[in-house]
């Protein structure tokens, strides 16, 4: 067997609640700015939604895309296009055979706006008025398919769907494609555009959302005793992954390497995490082992940490279960405190933030952590960002989803 | 309140522009929807439905295949407007 192909990150893109680009998003996260705001939409009052705020997109896609692109893509596809174009430009538009280029963009929910608008049109105006692109715009792969078309990617277009783990799973899938020799370059990440009354009503019915309507920017508070649920966010984050030797040969900027990927499933409950974190810890251990590392090598964790009372404790248990005493002094950041929870794009966005933390050697501070929950047994970065050490370092990104999906990826410095 | 063929052409050009991004000036009567304007069948259906709404006509599905050029569509709409 020949030596295993290495996979590196050479481009970053993001459109999020705190910035229209990856650098803007990183800058906002380092500055501790929240993307949560009161929703200005009339449907909030119309449906008397119990939650009146969300981490809505910072930059309207209409400012970036053409009118026709906006018309022909569900918002989730629009966000994916914006982030993937930024990542591709950031990678220096590598010259690649289309047959060796893949597009892997995950999503949790898919084209929910298109689906429900088309349903309204059908009921109000009849079948002839339903937009002919309704089906291709509502299918979940309306995330990866437009990106594949836009980029000319012909090695494969894939849409992992694993709720809030989708975005990181897509990155992991793309890394596997390159390792296995099925592609040389991939654009990979996640997208979500579900700030819509129906998902809000559904998540609220589960008691999953924060109801801190009077102070949206204080609502996402992972690890704080006052946390009462997650803050719904939207947007997309995409990276360019590339085979290491080729990236080096063309002189690309290499942000990080995909060290190892771990995945598992809880088979415990359709929505609740397994409280002892057995499944999640298996994913983390596997990621570290596949990277050829030990827990001592992990100098930073970007946690899933959604700010739900149960989930944050379960993840803390899982991390301790995976790494034991090595967890002490392992700086953990919960960036959802600023960005909100982007569902199927969350893991991708946190992947980008983990990569940037490694690249700039700084772990961002978690905001809104005023009263640390003693049930959390982690070294959480808060107050101010923390410098990461020089030399070869590695960071872990966790992403979990309803359905018991656990994905962990170890990124390493190059 | 039938419109002149020129008014229909202008209205149709706006619909095509909205759907495809093509300049309204490029939508001329002799232009073929598929060969010149590169409009696929899905976009054509959107244009047809929007034209029905805008001009108050019904364009049966069977008729759509006969509308090869912009001029064909303008004539059909002019003839069928009440």
pLDDT digits (tens, 9 = 90+) for A358-377: 999 999 999 999 999 999 99
User: In angstroms, how far apart are the furthest CA atoms of chain B?
Assistant: 33
Query: CA-CA distances (angstroms) from residue A70 to A182, A185, A196, A199?
Result: 32, 27, 17, 22
Contact A132 B42 (CB under 8 A): yes
Tell me, yes or no, if A304 is annotated catalytic. Answer: yes
pLDDT digits (tens, 9 = 90+) for A171-201: 999 999 999 999 999 999 999 999 999 999 9
Tell me, yes or no, if A300 is annotated catalytic. Answer: no
Catalytic residue among A158, A196, A304, A359: A304
pLDDT digits (tens, 9 = 90+) for A258-311: 999 999 999 999 998 898 899 999 999 999 999 999 999 999 999 999 999 999
A407 bridge partner residues = A263, A399
- Residue-level pLDDT at A76: 98
Residue A403 CB: number of other CB atoms within 10 A? 16
* A330-358 mean pLDDT: 98
Predicted ipTM?
0.81
Tell me the domain boundaries of chain B.
5-80
Of the candidates A357, A285, A299, the one whose C-alpha atom is nearest the C-alpha of residue A328 is A299
Return the DSSP state at B69: B
Compare CB distances from A132 to B18, B45, B53 and report the shortest one's residue: B45
What burial letters (b/e) apply to B14-30, b meaning 16+ CB within 10 Å? ebbbbbbebeeeebeee
pLDDT digits (tens, 9 = 90+) for A74-122: 999 999 999 999 999 999 999 999 999 999 999 999 999 999 999 999 9
Domain B5-80 coded CATH 1.10.1200.10: yes
Residues contacting A268, CB < 8 A, separation 6+: A274, A279, A404
| Encoded tokens for B33 | 């929807």
Nearest-by-CA chain B residue for A129: B49
Q: Has this prediction a pTM greater than 0.90?
A: yes
């Amino acid at each position: 067997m020949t030596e295993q192909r290495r996979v590196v990150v050479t481009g970053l893109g993001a459109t999020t609640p705190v910035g229209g680009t990856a650098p803007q998003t990183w800058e906002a996260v380092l500055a501790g700015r929240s993307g949560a705001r009161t929703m200005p939409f009339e449907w909030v009052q119309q449906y008397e939604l119990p939650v009146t705020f969300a981490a809505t997109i910072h930059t309207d896609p209409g400012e970036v895309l053409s009118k026709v692109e906006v018309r022909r893509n569900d918002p989730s596809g629009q966000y994916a296009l914006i982030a993937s174009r930024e990542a591709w430009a950031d990678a220096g538009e590598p010259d690649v055979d289309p047959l060796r280029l893949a597009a892997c963009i995950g999503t949790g929910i898919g084209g929910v706006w298109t689906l429900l608008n088309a349903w309204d049109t059908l009921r109000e105006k009849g079948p002839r008025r339903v937009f002919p692109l309704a089906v291709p715009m509502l299918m979940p792969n309306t995330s990866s398919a437009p990106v594949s078309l836009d980029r000319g990617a012909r090695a494969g277009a894939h849409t992992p769907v694993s709720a809030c783990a989708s975005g990181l799973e897509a990155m992991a899938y793309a890394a596997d494609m390159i390792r296995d020799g099925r592609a040389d370059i991939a654009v990979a990440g996640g997208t979500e555009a579900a700030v819509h009354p129906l998902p809000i009503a559904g998540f609220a019915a589960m008691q999953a959302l924060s109801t801190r309507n009077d102070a949206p920017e204080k609502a996402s508070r992972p690890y704080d005793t006052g946390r009462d649920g997650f803050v719904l966010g939207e947007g997309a984050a995409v990276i360019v992954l590339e085979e290491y030797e080729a990236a080096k040969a063309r002189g690309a900027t290499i942000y990080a390497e995909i060290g190892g990927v771990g995945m598992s499933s809880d088979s415990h409950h359709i929505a609740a995490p397994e409280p002892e974190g057995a499944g999640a810890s298996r994913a983390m251990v596997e990621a570290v082992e596949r990277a050829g590392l030990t827990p001592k090598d992990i100098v930073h964790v970007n946690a899933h940490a959604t700010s739900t009372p149960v989930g944050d404790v379960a993840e803390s248990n899982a991390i301790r279960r995976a790494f034991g005493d090595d967890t002490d002094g392992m700086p953990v950041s919960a960036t959802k405190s600023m960005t909100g929870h982007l569902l199927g794009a969350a893991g991708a966005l946190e992947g980008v933030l983990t990569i940037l933390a490694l690249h700039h050697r700084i772990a961002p501070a978690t905001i809104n952590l005023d009263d640390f929950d003693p049930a959390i047994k982690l070294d959480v970065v808060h107050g101010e960002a923390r410098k990461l050490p020089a030399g070869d370092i590695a960071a872990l990104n966790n992403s979990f989803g309803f359905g018991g999906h656990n994905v962990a990826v170890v990124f390493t410095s190059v | 309140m039938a419109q002149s063929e020129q008014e229909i052409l202008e209205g149709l050009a706006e619909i095509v522009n909205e759907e495809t991004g093509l300049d309204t000036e490029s939508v001329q009567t002799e232009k073929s929807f598929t060969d010149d304007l590169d409009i696929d069948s899905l976009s054509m259906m959107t244009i047809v439905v929007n034209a029905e709404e805008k001009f108050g006509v019904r364009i049966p599905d069977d008729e759509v295949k006969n509308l090869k050029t912009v001029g064909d569509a303008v004539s059909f709409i002019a003839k069928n407007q009440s």
